[in-house]
Amino acid sequence: MKPSTLYSSLPWVITSLTVAVHSAPTGTKSNSNPPLRGSENLLGYSASNTVTDQSTDEIPYVPVPGQTDTADLGVYLDFDDVENPQPVRGSTGGTDPGPRNDYYDRMNSDKLAPPGTDNGQTINAQWPMGLSHNRLGLNESGWARQENEVVMPAATEMAGVDMRLEAGAYRELHWHVASEWSLVLNGSCRIEAVNENGQTFVDDVSAGDVWFFPPGVPHSIQALDSGVEFLLIFDDGSFSEDNTFLATEVFAHQPRSVLAKNFDLPVAAFDDIPEDELYIFPGTPAPQNISEQNVTGSAGVLPQSQSYSYHFSEQPAHEVQGGSVKIVDSLTFPISTNTAAALVTVHPGGMREIHWHPSSDEWTFFISGKARATLFTAPSTATTFDYRPGDVGYFPQSNSHYIENTGDEDLVFLEVLQTDQFTDIALGQWIGSTPKQIVADTLHLPQSALDRLKTEKMYVVAGSNETDAAASA
């Protein structure tokens, strides 16, 4: 049989088989599998239809503290150790017999049982780095995973990368179209760069320190003896680590004769250059004496006032009622002309006060502890998100939000803005600095509340007795 004849006959064969199976006499035992599609007798109403009597109303669960309170009170519901958390808050919601992912429900109680004050759906302001694809370095030298518009479409202004280098490993020589701002999360590394004037830079940075490389400035990163993990933030939400300009790729895609002419070297000098990118790879340990790597030409070294590093770890924290805040921006780190950041610590029960940033979106990385935040978008949309270490939060320019510590240990997170100075507007300071009569007429607050309003920015506030009592009721 010709192939065309065979293929054209297949539909008939399949139809014939189906008819044969359907035509089998009642009670006849057949060894054939049932067909892929059912009988037309299953369509719509039939007197022979059966209804399965399955109760889904009696789903056993024990409400957690705060779950039976009025939904608008909206206290945090801790489902971490709950066997069967349910989407119920106050008189709203109902039980869920499944199917469902209990693991995610326990981690995201404000998605399962949102506060009654949530309304509609804002942008997705949460992305766990743990869900990002991990790119692995050569020979167990490290890894990198990223967040950008691909996984968080509304995060258009900034993107982030969490990168690990084992002891002695390199992030190979490269440069970006975007600027690069970094916070060292743990360990230490040596960073080196050469600017457009030929001035060179080298420094060793440790946990808590930051660096900034302007667009186009080539640089390298090598882990010191303890290895290193660092957070990278780029001023472009579409940025991808897969699209950086790598030294290996630059060399691999130039004619060897051109390379020889460019460097005034014989062509044979380039016989062993890598055919593929290295990206993250093991290397010779950096010498302990940093001066051994301080190569300089006629342009000399980069002036200290234009340094690419800032030893943020040595800056004392500014203590506030509910925690502490440290700010680094162009006022103390001049080269960082378009990136400003605050490292915030919130004690248990406290929260980063309700605020917004008038000049930039906020890109937030959660370092330790548990948190939640409500993003409010005009005119009336609000969504509450829960965060764990390694999560990214994103709050658009002028959209208000708070960040509340929902755990029993300190919450630490990094707020990053795409601007030269770190600024925000605090809801409390605004209302407290507005004539009380206007506030009373607008919000109907009692005089006892008006008398307690503050005119100063708090940054972090401690938990109130009233809120704590309600949460533990």
Dihedral class, residue 279 (left if φ above 0, else alpha if ψ from -120 to 50, else beta)? left
347 assigned to a ligand binding site: no
Residue 387 lies in a domain: yes
254 touches 187 (CB < 8 A):
no
Q: Distance between CA 90 and CA 78 in Å, rounded? A: 15
Residue whose C-alpha is closest to residue 362's, from 370, 349, 352: 352
- Same domain, yes or no: 348 and 273: no
Q: Where are the alpha helices (DSSP H) in 296-435?
A: 427-432
- Same domain, yes or no: 340 and 445: yes
Residue 334 lies in a domain: yes
> What Cα–Cα distance (Å) separates residue 105 from each residue in 69, 78, 149, 292?
20, 11, 25, 54
- Same domain, yes or no: 191 and 271: yes
- Same domain, yes or no: 100 and 149: no
Q: Is 398 exposed, middle or buried (0-12, 13-18, 19+ CB in 10 A)?
A: middle
Q: Which helix (H) or strand (E) holds 382?
A: strand 381-387
- Same domain, yes or no: 157 and 295: yes
Residue 13 lies in a domain: no
C-alpha torsion sign, points 180, 184, 185, 187: positive
Residue 265 lies in a domain: yes
Tokens of 15: 């139809």
DSSP designation for 119: B
- Same domain, yes or no: 288 and 327: no
- Same domain, yes or no: 275 and 352: no
Tokens of 79: 């489902």
365 touches 147 (CB < 8 A):
no
- Same domain, yes or no: 190 and 276: yes
The pLDDT score that the predictor gives to residue 352 is: 98
The pLDDT score that the predictor gives to residue 467 is: 46
Q: Is 230 exposed, middle or buried (0-12, 13-18, 19+ CB in 10 A)?
A: buried
The pLDDT score that the predictor gives to residue 50 is: 84
Residue whose C-alpha is closest to residue 377's, from 389, 394, 353, 392: 394
180 assigned to a ligand binding site: yes
- Same domain, yes or no: 306 and 319: no
The pLDDT score that the predictor gives to residue 218 is: 98
Q: Which residues in 267-294 are b (16+ Cβ under 10 Å) and which e? A: eeebeeeeeebbbbbbbeebeeeeeeee
Q: Distance between CA 322 and CA 405 in Å, rounded? A: 10
CATH of the domain at 422: 2.60.120.10
319 assigned to a ligand binding site: no
Mention every residue, 6+ apart, whose C-beta is less than 8 A from residue 79: 64, 85, 105, 106, 107, 109, 112
Residue 105 lies in a domain: yes
Give residue 242's domain range: 131-310
249 assigned to a ligand binding site: no
Residue 209 lies in a domain: yes
Tokens of 458: 């708090």
The pLDDT score that the predictor gives to residue 229 is: 98
pLDDT along the chain (473 residues), means of 10: 38 39 50 89 88 82 95 96 94 93 95 97 97 97 98 97 98 97 98 97 98 97 97 97 94 97 97 95 96 89 97 98 97 98 98 98 98 98 98 98 97 98 98 97 97 96 62 46
Q: Distance between CA 158 and CA 394 in Å, rounded? A: 9
355 assigned to a ligand binding site: yes
311 assigned to a ligand binding site: no
Question: Where is the domain boundary, 310, 337, 358?
Answer: 310
- Same domain, yes or no: 296 and 334: no
Provide the annotated active-site residues.
Answer: 415
Tokens of 318: 């500014």
Residue 31 lies in a domain: no
The pLDDT score that the predictor gives to residue 13 is: 37
